[in-house]
Amino acid sequence: MYAQTSREVLNFIQHSPSCFHAVAEMARMLEQAGYQKLRESQPWSLTKGGKYYTTRNGSSIIAFHVGEELDNYHFQITASHSDSPSYKVKEKAELKGKGGYLQLNTEGYGGMICASWLDRPLSLAGRVLVRQGNRITARLLNIDRDLLLIPNVAIHMNREVNSGMKFNQQVDMLPLFSAGACGENSYRELIAQELGAQPEDVVGSDLYLYPRVAPSVWGAQEEFISSPRLDDLQCAYTSLKAFLQGENPHGVNVFSCFDNEEVGSGTKQGALSTFLRDVLQRIHTSLGYGVDEYCCAVAKSFMVSCDNAHAVHPNHPEKTDAENCVYMNQGIVVKFSANQKYTTDGISAAIFVQLCKDAQVPVQTFANRSDMAGGSTLGNLSTQQVSLHTVDVGLPQLAMHSAYETAGVKDSAYMVQALTAFYSTDLKITDSDEFILD
């Protein structure tokens, strides 16, 4: 039963080679469950009991389920991210090398572990803008074959390769595209051909490299899963699944998944943008409530910010705090940070841990070593636009930001179980004084 959810996660990730594909896949799941698409550019007229979703930039998505018996309502929200570290192809994409070599000119997106991208088949996925007459349309593109590779330098030419390697993104990390069989403009021609368009009609693109390696369930007792993009598509899928299963007639359940977490979230569709705030306000006014009631609703609301966490590394246990450290297959991680890089505080931890207890889901606590900065995530950024009680949680994993990450086979199911309970519980929050889990 545990493994089944993880297999679903891996299947979802395989269908999501880019953030655009991930959002399209989530939209498909929502449509299948009867959710109606709303456009941000058109007026909304919502009804109690209604199920809706909307997207921004094709790379962020928010879905919500309005309770049937709203009265004095509030929001219960999860947030995750759709993007992962990768390489983006530059506008002038081709680099000619010696002997007919053709490379793609790329730059880093987010903070990847460079070495993990070497010597493995890669391809391209993302969004392409195609012109037809006076109309420009956004199209998804996934070139579904082994297309590119970033080769290592042989050890005989770099004897230092095993004593600490410094990677230069403009030199070491460029993918090889052709050994001489292709002429100038062949990159654009390939993109056009894939879309059944003319090369001159390809007028824009956001295309990223992705590793072709297939996900795997492995280990002596099949305890592990490995795949590209577990951070954060494992949380995106499990929170969406929970959202689709949960039911709270007295509140508005909200699922959100944002692009650009890996580059600081400060884009029109990122967690720092107005996207969530705009959607919540539109839900609110469309249901006929006033401004003062919006503040009441937000004050009583709760967010679970879901992003993967660092499990203790088998070779480097010293990298984590001695006690506030987490292990794969041992449950959901609640993340703490005194400097509030994670939003969790006494209140949000108490509420979330109680929810997990009631749902019989194991919980672990994480804090960075006090002499290590650690990473950051979504919750502390989205709260700048919509300020509400928030807890930062995640699933334990190894090798975060590697092209091939590893997590526990059991934990996906724990997340679905806990968040289904979250979406099915009517939280009654009175400021920072009293909390009832109904």
* CB contact at 8 A, 3 and 222: yes
Tokens encoding 276: 């969530």
392 near Co ion (CB under 5 A): no
What lies within 8 Å, CB to CB, of 314 at 6+ separation is none
Q: C-beta of 400: minimal distance to Co ion in Å?
A: 7
| Shortest Å, Cβ 81 to Co ion | 6
User: Which one among 25, 83, 206, 231 touches Co ion, defined by CB under 5 A?
Assistant: 231
Q: How far is the CB of 368 from Co ion (least distance, A)?
A: 15
Q: Does 94 contact Co ion by CB under 5 A? A: no
CA atoms within 13 A on the CB side of 161: 11
Contacts for 381-384: CB closer than 8 Å, 24+ residues apart: 381/265, 381/270, 381/271, 381/272, 382/79, 382/256, 382/258, 382/265, 382/271, 382/272, 382/276, 382/303, 382/305, 383/303, 383/343, 384/272
- 347 contacts 429 by C-beta, under 8 angstroms: no
CB of 375 to Co ion, least distance (A): 7
Cα–Cα distance for residue pair 76/67, rounded to 1 Å: 11
Give me the 190-229 binding string for Co ion, x by CB under 5 A, dash otherwise: ----------------------------------------
Nearer to Co ion, 25 or 83 (CB): 83
| Nearer residue to Co ion within complex by CB, 25 or 231 | 231
Given its phi and psi angles, is residue 100 left (phi above 0), alpha (psi -120 to 50 degrees) or beta? left
Instruction: Give the residue among 212, 229, 240 at the shortest CA–CA distance from 61.
Output: 240
Least distance to Co ion, CB of residue 250, Å: 31
Which lies closer to Co ion via its Cβ, residue 94 or residue 411?
411
For residues 229 and 284, which CB has a smaller minimum distance to Co ion in the complex? Answer: 229
Among 83, 94, 307, 411, binds Co ion (CB under 5 A): 307
Strands across the sheet containing 102-109: 135-142, 122-132, 202-211, 86-96, 102-109, 176-178
The residue among 232 and 259 lying less far from Co ion, judged by its C-beta, is: 232
Coil, strand or helix at 148? strand
User: What burial letters (b/e) apply to 285-321, b meaning 16+ CB within 10 Å?
Assistant: ebbebeeeebeebbebbbbbbbbbbbbbeeeeeeebb
Closest separation in Å from C-beta 80 to Co ion: 8
Helices (H), ranges, 120-226 = 186-195
The interface region with Co ion, picked from 16-24, 108-116, 237-245, 301-309 by CB under 5 A, is 301-309
Helices (H) and strands (E) counted in the chain, each on its own, are 9, 22
* Least distance from Co ion to the Cβ atom of residue 314, Å: 21
Whether 148 contacts 102, CB under 8 Å = no
Residue type, 172: D
Number of residues that bind Co ion (CB under 5 A): 3
CA dist 130 and 76 (Å) reads: 38
232 binds Co ion (CB under 5 A): yes
Nearer to Co ion, 94 or 232 (CB): 232
Question: Which range of residues in 200-208, 218-226, 232-240, 245-253 is near Co ion by CB under 5 A?
Answer: 232-240
CB 308 → Co ion: shortest distance, Å? 6
Minimum CB distance to Co ion smaller for 58 or for 379:
379
- Residues recorded for the chain: 438
The CB-of-235 to Co ion minimum distance in angstroms stands at 8
Of 54 and 84, the one with the shorter C-beta distance to Co ion is 84
Of 117 and 187, which has the nearer Cβ to Co ion?
A: 117
Q: Which stretch binds Co ion (CB under 5 A): 66-74, 112-120, 306-314, 409-417?
A: 306-314
Secondary structure in 3-state letters for 328-383: CCCCEEEEECCCCCCCCCHHHHHHHHHHHHHCCCCEEEEECCCCCCCCCCCHHHHC
Region of 31-39, 209-217, 247-255, 305-313 interacting with Co ion (CB under 5 A): 305-313
What residues from 110 to 129 belong to the interface with Co ion (CB under 5 A)?
none
**Contact window for Co ion (CB under 5 A) among 65-73, 168-176, 263-271, 300-308:** 300-308
Q: How far is the CB of 233 from Co ion (least distance, A)?
A: 10
- Region near Co ion per CB under 5 A, out of 63-71, 158-166, 270-278, 299-307: 299-307
- Return residues touching Co ion (CB under 5 A): 231-232, 307
